[in-house]
Chains A and B, each alone.
Chain A
Amino acid sequence: EVQLLESGGGLVQPGGSLRLSCAASGFTFRSYAMSWVRQAQGKGLEWVSSISGSGTTTYNAESVKGRFTISRDNSKNTLYLQMNSLRAEDTAVYYCAKDRDIWGDAFDIWGQGTMVTVSS
């Protein structure tokens, strides 16, 4: 079964850091680009960051550029999001998602999400 399982969310103070993880199973992880998408409570979906299958190409939304870093370990089938200088507006459920086929594709598999709360 194809599955994504996020972890690492929690409560952090403004200016703090957090690292999210997403464990993948059921597919050839290294063959697919992966992304992070977030959703604030009661709000819509916002694409955050993407990384190619090899990990050599990354792309971030302007809202997180310079603060968030996406990476992956294909030997561990795991995707990461390092979040630094966190702000209250980063509070959201963070989903990892798999590109359906090619780089920049629709997201065909989603994790269940992990909650990040930035508050003092």
Chain B
Amino acid sequence: EIVLTQSPGTLSLSPGERATLSCRASQSVSGNYLAWYQQKPGQAPRLLIYVASSRATGIPDRFSGSGSGTDFTLTISRLEPEDFAVYYCQQYGSSPRSFGQGTKLEIK
């Protein structure tokens, strides 16, 4: 099973700042099949990015994904108030599909 480790655990930033979230895999992710999700309290996760860098339908272009192999990054270029949430990465290149433990993005 591929283990995903996200860092930092908590990121404290202000609106308008740039956020950089990391996801590192214990082995190479096949096909760069890496997704990012956003989850707000009491809500279901929402798909942001798939195949490492493709934005899902309706996702603003301030969200971008990059990386390959074992190291992936989610970047939010200019934080909006609604972006403060928990973010999860997920690999789906091999079974079982596994998630990282999450990064909480909080308002500074």
Contact = CB atoms under 8 A, between A and B. Distances in A.
B76 interface: no
Contacts of A105: 33, 50, 92
A120 B97 CA distance: 32
Contacts of A95: 44-45
B99 A46 contact: yes
Interface in A1-58: 35, 44-47, 50
Interface in B32-80: 33, 35, 37, 39, 43-47, 50-51, 56-57
Given A44-B88, A45-B88, A108 B97 contact: no
Range class of the A interface residue count: 20 to 34
Contact of A44 (B50, B95, B99): B99
Nearest to A93: B44
B50 A106 contact: yes
Contacts of B7: none
A50 to B, nearest CB: 8
Contacts of B22: none
A106 B56 CA distance: 10
Interface of A: 35, 44-47, 50, 59, 61-62, 95, 100, 104-108, 110-113
24 contacts: A45-B88, A45-B90, A45-B99, A45-B102, A47-B98, A47-B99, A59-B96, A61-B96, A95-B44, A100-B47, A100-B56, A104-B92, A104-B95, A104-B97, A106-B33, A106-B47, A107-B37, A107-B45, A107-B47, A107-B90, A108-B47, A110-B46, A112-B43, A112-B44
